[in-house]
Amino acid sequence: MSLARVHNFSISLDGFGTGEPQSLDAPFGHAGERLHEWLFATRSWREMVGQPGGTRGIDDAFARLHGPGVGAEIMGARKFGPPGWHEDPEWKGWWGSNPPFHTPVVVLTQHSRPSLEMEGGTTFHFVHASPAEALETAREAADGQDVRIGGGATVIRDFVAAGLVDHMHIVVVPILLGRGVRLWDGLEGLETDYEIESASSPSGVTHVTLTRAV
| pLDDT 10s digits, 52-97 | 999 999 999 999 999 999 999 999 999 999 999 999 999 999 999 9
For the residues 22-30, what does the mean pLDDT come to? 95
User: 116-117 and 4-12 as β-strands: parallel, antiparallel, unpaired?
Assistant: unpaired
pTM metric for this prediction = 0.95
State the amino acid at position 205 in one-letter form.
Answer: V
The predicted pLDDT at position 70 comes to 98
Confidence tier at 214 by pLDDT (50, 70, 90): confident
Contact 183/153 with Cβ under 8 angstroms? Answer: yes
